Structure formats: C-alpha cells, structure tokens
C-alpha cells in the first residue's frame, strides 16, 4: 500500500463524514476520471474542440441540448447569468461586470440567498447582474415573483441545496411557469444534486452541477441546457470566464466521471453507506444524552445521513464540543456541523474509504466515554464559535 501523500505534505489525514464539501476536497475521484486525466495531461489539445466533445456527453447525460465544463458550479452561475445579459455580443462580454443594458436584473428567492463558501448572490453580481430579491426569508408567493418581473429582468436563478429554506417558497415547476410566461430564462444551481436530468425536465433552461461532488470527477462545474443560452455562457470564456478557466485534464476528467456515472453500482454504494449508518447507530444507541436518527437527504438525493442529537446535561458535552473533539487528534474526523447550535450534527457516509466507518464508531465512543467520565460538563460558550470562526483564515498562511 502506498504512503498517504498527506503525511508527506504535512497535512492532517482527515476522515470526511461531512459530505461532498469543497473545503475538504469534495469527493473521492473515481478511477475512470483519474485514468482520463493521466492520459490527456502529456498532450496538447484544442480546448474548444475538446469542449465540443464534452458538450455531446453532457447533452446525453442531462437531456440538454448542449453543455460545457467550467471551473466550478459557482463559476457556472456567473457564466450562465452573464450569458443572459450579454447574449453573443462580444464587446458586451469584454465589458462585464459593467453593462450597457438595463436588462440585467436577476430574480432570486430570498430563502435561496445562501452561502456555499461564498454568497450565491455574489456569483450573480460579478457577472454584471443586479440581484432582485423576491419574497421573504421563509415565504415567496406567486405575486412576489410576478410583480418582480419587468422589461429589465434578464434571468431567474433557483438554488437547490440543503442550505436553503425548505418550506414556504416557490417550487421549481411553479418558478419556471411564472418566469416562462414572461419570457424569462431559469437557471438552476444544482451543485450537489444526484439527478442529472430532473431540473431540465422540469423546465429549467440551464442546469448547473459540480463535477467534483457526487460524480466523483476533478474540481469542475457542468453547464447544461438550451443551446443558445449555453453558447452565450460559453462565450464568457472570452471575458469574466477567463479567470474561471478549466484545463484539458479537468474537462476530460469530468467527461469520464459523467460516463462512469452510467455504469456505477449505485445500489452497492447505497448498501455500503447503509452499513456504516447501522454501525454508527449501534455504537450510539443507549448512550446517555445521545439520540441517533437516520434521515433522508433533504433535497431528495437517494441517500441517508445520521443526525446525532446531543443533550449536554446527560452526555456531559455539547454537540459543538463533541464535533471539535472528533476533528482533533491523529485521525481527525470532520462532521457536518452547519446547524450545531441546534444541538446536533450530521454524519455522512458518502465519502468513506473502506474501514473508516469503524474508526468513526470507535472515536465517537471514545469521546463520549471521556465526556461522561469528566466531573464537569464540557461546554464552550456557543458565542465563541461565532467569535473565532474566521480566525484561521484571517491568519493564513501563518
């Protein structure tokens, strides 16, 4: 077995039970993508011709008319929005983010204004789009969207994510119906979604995916949909897309990951994930102050996660301190702790290497036993999480 490159680089050998998170490297790249990248790296290619080949693969896999590979799904949002503002006008493309047209407004439900590491509305603004928020954080009604559409509306963006408010908002079919009644194209940010066809099938004009999440490709974004809009987005590579460019290895690697998706043993993967969840539930059930719930994915991806709910009075530790304890030590375990102030975190088994599920179970038991044995409850003030959240970034690279 080869040495872990992370040790050579002085990096911590983390175990990822957070999910397909960019901050951890997103996913385990599938062998087909690794082989494709290795094969193409020594050679020169005409990038636009390679993108034409990618377009055919993307069209087949998504049901769209065309597609291309870009740097990330976030880049795809910017390029797709820019395309709706400039069309094929090459001078307008060069001038972005400055625009010479009033038709640059982009509708976005307020409950979809989330951060996936950066604000989604920023991806729109750097493309020259003027964001028009519709509705409130927890409710958007038809009249909100209908009255927001004017002659200045260039596009409407719909975000599919576990981060968004999951009630009280317009669903995609209704969002599309309202937009299309006034000739407004709909762009769907579906970065972490499993179904490559549903969003275009439901009427979206462009659907955007991450190539490096469930697909297991290299860091990349996939733009798919209506040919004229995809072409206008692709033309942005002569403008703001230059800073979002993607190399031959990522284009070909993403193509290989897409094609591997067709033959992947999805049922076998789900079975292995279910096995890890069962192991963790067995390790946690019956422990004082701990409730382990197996829950379905909130955006209907065909997978489950485990919610670990902590009663600090009984467990002698808070959820956030337990998460911190797990990510310390020789084998750091990174959990999904986006909602930890509600006294729970998630364990996601989708990015485990064989045997790591047992390490996770052991560490959970060790940290919970240690907390129960302590005389005082381990309870860092929750305010400290907010106060120190960005300390590391602000000190980087020190």
DSSP calls for 164-187: S--SSS--HHHHHHHHHHTT--EE
**Residue 1 binned pLDDT confidence (cut-offs 50, 70, 90):** very low
Q: How far apart are the first and last CA of the chain?
A: 33
CATH number at residue 205: 3.40.640.10
Same domain, 91 and 211: yes
**Would you state the pLDDT for residue 393?**
85
Task: Tokens for 176, please give them.
Answer: 């599309």
pTM for the complete prediction? 0.91
* pLDDT tens-digit map of 12-65: 899 999 888 888 878 889 999 999 999 999 999 999 999 999 999 999 999 999
Q: Is the pLDDT of residue 117 over 60?
A: yes
> Domain for residue 15, yes or no?
yes
Strands 333-335 and 186-189: unpaired
Residue 11's domain comprises 5-22+266-393
Q: How far apart are CA 373 and CA 189, in angstroms?
A: 46
Strands of 304-310's sheet, edge to edge? 290-296, 304-310, 344-347
- Among 263, 280, 313, the domain boundary falls at 263
Could you give the percent of the chain with pLDDT greater than 70? 99
Indicate whether 133 belongs to any domain: yes
Tokens of 337: 């702790």
Domain boundary among 247, 263, 279: 263
- 38-53 pLDDT, tens digit each: 999 999 999 999 999 9
Domain count, the chain: 2
Q: Is residue 398 part of a domain?
A: no
Q: Which of 281, 343, 293 is nearest to 313 (CA)?
A: 343
Same domain, 92 and 39: yes
Look at residue 47 in the predicted model and tell me its pLDDT.
97
Question: What is the pLDDT of the chain when averaged over all its residues?
Answer: 93
* 371 and 282 inside one domain: yes
Q: Which residues pair with 188 in a beta bridge?
A: 158, 207
Query: 3-state DSSP call for residue 258?
Result: helix
Do 166 and 279 share a domain, yes or no?
no
Q: What DSSP designation does 352 have?
A: P
Residues 222 and 279 in one domain: no
Pseudo-torsion of CA 32, 38, 44, 49, nearest 10°? Answer: 10
198 and 289 fall within a common domain: no
Specify if 147 maps to a domain.
yes
Domain-embedded: residue 375: yes
Sign of the CA dihedral running 240, 244, 248, 252 = negative
Give Cβ neighbours of residue 294 (< 8 Å, ≥ 6 apart).
277, 281, 304, 305, 306, 307
- Give every CB contact of residue 366 below 8 A, 6+ residues apart in sequence: none
Same domain, 10 and 40: no
Q: What are the tokens at 307?
A: 């919610």
User: 157 and 259 in one domain?
Assistant: yes
Compute the distance between CA of residue 356 and CA of residue 33 in angstroms, rounded to an integer: 23
Residues contacting residue 244 through CB under 8 Å, at least 6 positions apart = 70, 71, 72, 75, 78, 79
Percentage of the chain surpassing pLDDT 90? 76
**pLDDT band per the 50, 70, 90 thresholds, residue 339:** confident
pLDDT, residue 2, reads: 59
Same domain, 294 and 211: no
Residue 342 belongs to some domain of the structure: yes
Average pLDDT over residues 255-273: 92
Residue 340's CATH number: 3.90.1150.180
Residue 193 and residue 301: Cα distance in Å, rounded? Answer: 6
Quote the tokens at residue 189: 């940010």
User: Looking at per-residue confidence, does 89 or 378 come out higher?
Assistant: 89
109 contacts: CB under 8 Å, gap ≥ 6: 133, 134, 135, 140, 145, 158, 159, 169, 170, 175
Strand ordering across the sheet containing 186-189: 66-70, 221-225, 206-210, 186-189, 153-159, 105-109, 130-134
Locus of tokens 């797990």: 326
Length of the chain: 398
Residue 297: per-residue pLDDT:
87
Pairwise pLDDT comparison (179 vs 116), residue with the higher score: 179
- Shared-domain flag, residues 245 and 281: no
- 237 pLDDT band, cuts 50/70/90, is very high
Residue where a domain stops, chosen among 213, 246, 263 = 263
Instruction: Tell me how far CA of residue 244 lies from CA of 59, 120, 135, 291, 316, in angstroms.
Output: 22, 16, 31, 43, 47
Residue 316 counted as domain residue = yes
The reply to whether 216 and 272 lie within a common domain is no
Same domain, 102 and 72: yes
């Amino acid at each position: 077995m080869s040495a872990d490159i992370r040790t050579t680089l002085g990096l911590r050998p983390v175990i990822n039970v957070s999910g397909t998170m960019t901050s951890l490297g997103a996913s385990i790249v599938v062998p087909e993508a690794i082989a494709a990248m290795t094969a193409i790296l020594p050679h020169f290619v005409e990038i636009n011709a390679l993108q034409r080949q990618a377009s055919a693969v993307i069209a087949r896999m998504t049901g769209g008319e065309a597609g291309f590979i870009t740097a990330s799904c976030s880049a795809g949002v910017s390029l797709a929005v820019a395309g709706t503002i400039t069309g094929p006008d090459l001078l307008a493309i060069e001038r972005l983010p400055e625009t010479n047209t009033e038709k640059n407004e982009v509708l976005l439900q307020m409950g979809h204004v989330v951060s996936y590491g950066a604000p989604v509305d920023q991806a729109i603004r750097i493309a020259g789009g003027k964001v028009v928020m519709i509705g409130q954080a927890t409710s958007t009604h038809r009249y909100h969207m209908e009255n927001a559409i004017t002659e200045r509306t260039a596009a409407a963006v719909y975000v599919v994510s576990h981060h968004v408010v999951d009630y009280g908002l317009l669903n995609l079919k209704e969002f599309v119906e309202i937009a299309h009644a006034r000739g407004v194209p709909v762009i769907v940010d579906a970065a972490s979604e499993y179904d490559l066809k549903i969003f275009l099938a439901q009427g979206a004009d462009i659907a955007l995916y991450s190539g490096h999440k469930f697909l297991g490709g290299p860091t990349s974004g996939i733009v798919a949909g209506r040919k004229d809009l995809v072409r206008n987005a692709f033309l942005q590579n002569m403008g703001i897309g230059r800073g979002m460019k993607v190399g031959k290895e990522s284009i070909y690697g993403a193509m290989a990951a897409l094609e591997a998706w067709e033959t992947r043993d999805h049922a076998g993967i789900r079975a292995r994930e279910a096995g890890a969840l069962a192991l963790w539930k067995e390790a946690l059930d019956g422990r004082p102050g701990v409730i382990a719930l197996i829950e379905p994915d909130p955006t209907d991806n065909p997978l489950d996660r485990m919610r670990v709910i902590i009663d600090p009075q009984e467990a002698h530790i808070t959820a956030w301190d337990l998460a911190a304890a797990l990510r310390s030590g020789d084998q750091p375990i990174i959990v999904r702790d986006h909602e930890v102030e509600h006294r729970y975190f998630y364990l996601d088994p989708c990015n485990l290497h064989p045997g790591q599920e047992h390490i996770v179970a052991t560490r959970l038991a060790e940290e919970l036993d240690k907390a129960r044995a302590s005389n005082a409850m381990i309870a860092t003030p929750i305010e400290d999480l907010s106060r120190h959240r960005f300390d590391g970034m602000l000190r980087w690279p020190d």
